[in-house]
Amino acid sequence: MKNRVITISREFGSGGRTIGRETARKLNIPCYDQELIQHLAAESGFTEEYVKEQGEYAPYSGWLNALTGRTNGLTNQDHLWVLQRRIILDLAEKGPCVILGRCADYILRDSADCLTAFIHADMARRARRIVEVYGQREEAPEKRLRDKDKRRASYYQFYTDTAWGDARNYHIALDSGVLGIQRCVDILAQLF
Amino acid sequence: MKNRVITISREFGSGGRTIGRETARKLNIPCYDQELIQHLAAESGFTEEYVKEQGEYAPYSGWLNALTGRTNGLTNQDHLWVLQRRIILDLAEKGPCVILGRCADYILRDSADCLTAFIHADMARRARRIVEVYGQREEAPEKRLRDKDKRRASYYQFYTDTAWGDARNYHIALDSGVLGIQRCVDILAQLF
């Protein structure tokens, strides 16, 4: 029998990570996020920081990426994708869990009994949240959000060939800004 | 104080209409669908059939539409849009309700305390459902669905300038095929 897994894709600053963790805690199952990055770092030999960035975001310049970091025609990012895919399949095999981001919804579509969720919120709410959680940076929060969104969407599109954030790719999509984080947790836990 | 209104956008064949009606029944508030069409027909002088088709779907050929049915530079569809907008604003003013389709989410974004929902399901489930609900036609159900989806999306895009079906345009989006109609009703009623 396939394990029940919740995958959470999220816009940067939407509180998706908190929702994933809280849902897992409520259901008493593991939530893979940082742990997944550590696995990937250990197996690939790259640093955690590098894995975090390259395993979910398209590079700043596709053109530059086309020329650098290639072995046998694969980019570092392609290598990470292959590893990431295998680790996510293994984790889902181990037992029920919550998996954050990293195209897990797409990777597990045929191999787990998935509930796939997408968490989003409007720009103003996310801008406030990233300043609260990650602090001020030189760059305006709106600029940081737009950049992250764009690169995450582009990464997702490249490896899954479907549109990130299209409601039809997820079983449930929630606006955490309007509904509130706790309500999102309650709905997901209830649907599990 | 603004009235609480649930707007439901839905893919053809996803059971969104049933979900809207059941949610309204559960909450003991009116659900506007057929009634909205009757209002529009009465006020515009067009038949209900015409209003049903033109008030939510882009015409088969944009090019043909560009040349026909125009008065003062407005197409029949533009006139219907203006009427539809006013009727939806009036209904939301009257009291809490559920409103099905017709870009109500967009029209009410600033004037009601809205919960905006999008209901979808995969092609195979929708194809089965439209044959069950509306019967067989000469045209294959998949072809009917693709045509309806395309024209509804194009109508929405034209009048709202945002993408139909993008999760970020709705507070909640639900896959009625995977979650089941009753569960969708329960979640919406609970969030009201």
Q: A108-130, pLDDT tens digit by residue?
A: 988 888 999 999 999 999 999 99
Dump pLDDT digits (tens) for B53-90. 776 777 655 555 555 555 566 777 888 888 888 889 98
What is the distance between the alpha carbons of residues B165 and B156, in angstroms, rounded to a whole number? 10
- The number of distinct structural domains making up chain A is 1
Which of B123, B171, B182, B187 to mutate: most A Cβ within 10 Å?
B171
Task: Please indicate whether, in this complex, the C-beta atoms of A191 and B171 are within 8 angstroms of each other.
Answer: no
CATH number of residue B143's parent domain: 3.40.50.300
ipTM comes to 0.84
Give the number of A-B residue pairs with CB atoms closer than 8 Å: 53
**For residue B144, how many C-alpha atoms fall within 13 Å in the half-sphere facing its CB?**
17
Using a CB-CB cut-off of 8 Å, the residues of chain B touching A6 are none
Do A33 and A100 form a contact (C-beta atoms < 8 A)?
A: yes
Task: Please indicate whether, in this complex, the C-beta atoms of A172 and B165 are within 8 angstroms of each other.
Answer: no
Task: Please indicate whether, in this complex, the C-beta atoms of A165 and B168 are within 8 angstroms of each other.
Answer: yes
Q: What average pLDDT does this structure show over A34-52?
A: 80
Q: What average pLDDT does this structure show over B160-175?
A: 92
What is the distance between the alpha carbons of residues B4 and B1, in angstroms, rounded to a whole number? 9
Interface check A178 vs B, CB under 8 A: yes
Whether residue A68 is predicted with pLDDT greater than 80 in this model: the reply is no
pLDDT greater at residue B104 or residue B73: B104
The whole-number pLDDT of residue A71 equals 58
Task: Please indicate whether, in this complex, the C-beta atoms of B11 and A168 are within 8 angstroms of each other.
Answer: yes
Interface check A123 vs B, CB under 8 A: no
Interface check A2 vs B, CB under 8 A: no
Using a CB-CB cut-off of 8 Å, the residues of chain A touching B114 are none
Neighbours of B79 (CB within 10 A): 18
- Domain hosting residue A23, numbered range: 4-191
Nearest-CA residue of chain A relative to B123?
Answer: A168
Report the range of poorest mean pLDDT among A176-185, B26-35, B46-55, B118-127: B46-55
Interface check A11 vs B, CB under 8 A: yes
Reported as a pLDDT band with limits 50, 70 and 90, residue A76 is confident
The whole-number pLDDT of residue B179 equals 95
What is the distance between the alpha carbons of residues A179 and A60, in angstroms, rounded to a whole number? 33
Report the range of poorest mean pLDDT among A15-24, A181-190, B153-162: B153-162
Mean pLDDT of chain B, nearest integer: 86
Report the range of poorest mean pLDDT among A49-53, A147-151, A157-161, B92-96: A49-53
In degrees, rounded to 5, the angle at the alpha carbon of residue A175 between the alpha carbons of residues B176 and A101 is 85
- Residue A32 bridge partners (DSSP): A99
pLDDT greater at residue B192 or residue B72: B192
Using a CB-CB cut-off of 8 Å, the residues of chain B touching A168 are 11, 120, 165, 175
Backbone phi, then psi, for A26, in 5-degree steps? -60, -35
Dump pLDDT digits (tens) for A134-192. 888 888 899 999 998 888 888 888 888 888 899 999 999 999 999 999 999 999 999 98
What is the distance between the alpha carbons of residues B116 and B108, in angstroms, rounded to a whole number? 10
Reported as a pLDDT band with limits 50, 70 and 90, residue B121 is very high
Mean pLDDT highest for which of A60-69, B136-145, B182-191?
Answer: B182-191
Which of A10, A172, A181 to mutate: most B Cβ within 10 Å?
A172
